[in-house]
Amino acid sequence: MNKDITAADAGSWQLGDLTVHRIGFGAMRLTGSAAFDLGTPRDRDRSIAVLRRAVELGVNHIDTAAFYFSTLRSANEIVNSALAPYPDDLVIATKVGPGRDTWGEWTTARPEQLRGQVEENLRQLGRDHLDLVNLRMLPGMAQYGTVSDYVGALAELREAGLIRHLGLSAVRAEHLAEARRIAPVVCVQNRYGIDSRSTDADDLLRLCGELGIAFVPFFAIAGEGREEGAAAAGHDEELLAIARDHGASPAQVRLAWTLQRGPHVLAIPGTGNPDHVEENVAAGALRLSPEELARLDALGRA
């Protein structure tokens, strides 16, 4: 990695009144080998080193959640241990809606239970407020309340000072419209990538840009539950050729493509490997030509 490249080279965006660099860091993979694996935990010291290296390289947007844990490892605890006392410009985003009990079984919160999830994140992170809370919508939540019910509960916590800004995750355009009638929304976090997008997803990305709302793709490099290098077998030859032309990795090209979808698009690649942190940050300085972008766009439409 060019020693002069930092996360600032990807540009910046405003999450409400908070400025973040467009290359951030997703904490999910710090805890184990897969997304929600309860198997062998990662080496804790290595995970702490990864986070500290990310911040050294200018990353100031960390995405985490209380339900990111494996045996012996909690993403929030690792974030706390690695980075507290937190830098003034560091923005920590977390998620509520889904939950996991102490045995790792999934649960779904009712609107009135969101306060408990927010407080759990506060305790684990050692903070008195959360910079950004994303409401992760799940199909099973409809039995307990509407989007308005859930957003309304979080809006009350925002008024109480426990939350600074609100976002949405795994939502459609109609969810965004409903939520915005209740409270300001600063970001939408959805699954999105070169080969994991639809016309509706592209339309929502554009809509967010028109509204001045950040769009934050997850799993932009690899699929859910896969190591960041494990998706290599799925790289298209067209993508590999572009990577060779730039002397870059396929993952870096995927990240560069993601960031060039619009100035409001943020990336939160996750890794447990210090070398991959540097590669991901360097991708923020990679610029693809219009012709290369068109070739990559065509992969998702095949």
Confidence grade of residue 104 (pLDDT, cut at 50, 70, 90):
confident
Q: CA-CA distance, 74 to 4, in Å (whole number)? A: 32
Q: Tell me the mean pLDDT in the region 257-275.
A: 95
Q: How high is the pLDDT of residue 39?
A: 53
DSSP state letter for 42:
P
Cβ–Cβ contacts within 10 Å for residue 206, how many?
A: 14
Residue 152 CA to residue 211 CA, distance in Å, equals 21
User: Which phi and psi (to 5°) does residue 136 adopt?
Assistant: -90, 110
Q: What is the pLDDT of residue 228?
A: 46
DSSP H or E stretch at residue 100: strand 98-100
**For position 232, what pLDDT does the model report?**
43
Residue 279 has pLDDT above 90, yes or no: yes
Residues 6+ apart with CB under 8 A from 274: 46, 49, 50, 53
Q: Coil, strand, or helix at residue 154?
A: helix
**238 vs 242: CA distance, rounded Å:** 6
Q: Identify the pLDDT of residue 38.
A: 52
Quote the CA–CA distance of 302 and 300 in Å, as a whole number.
6
Tell me, yes or no, if 68 is annotated catalytic. Answer: yes
Angle, vertex CA 232, rays to CA 231 and CA 234, nearest 5: 70
Residues 22-68 pLDDT 10s? 999 999 989 875 555 555 667 899 999 999 999 999 999 999 999 99
Three-state secondary structure call for residue 191: strand
Q: Region 264-268: what's the mean pLDDT?
A: 97
Tell whether the model's pLDDT for residue 187 goes beyond 70.
Answer: yes
Q: What is the pLDDT of residue 233?
A: 47
0.75 surpassed by pTM: yes
In a 10 Å sphere around its CB, with 0-12 CB exposed, 13-18 middle and 19+ buried, how is residue 70 labelled?
A: buried
Could you say which of 68, 86, 150, 192 is catalytic? 68
Residue 46 CB coordination number (10 Å): 12
- In this prediction, residues 138-167 reach a mean pLDDT of 96
- Cis peptide bond prior to 85, omega within 30° of 0: yes
Give per-residue pLDDT as tens, 196-222.
888 899 999 999 999 999 999 988 886
Sign of CA dihedral 94, 98, 103, 105: negative
By the 8 A CB rule, do 279 and 269 touch?
no
Helix (H, G, I), strand (E, B) or coil at 189: strand
Tens digits of residue pLDDT in 228-243: 444 444 568 999 999 9
Lowest mean pLDDT among 76-90, 135-149, 156-170, 287-301: 287-301
Specify the pLDDT at position 229.
44
Instruction: Tell me the average pLDDT across 253-277.
Output: 95
All domains of the chain, ordered by start, with CATH? Answer: 20-299 (3.20.20.100)
* CA–CA distances in Å: residue 257 to residues 12, 212, 251, 287: 16, 20, 10, 8
What are the Cα distances from residue 73, in Å, to 40, 77, 203? 10, 8, 37
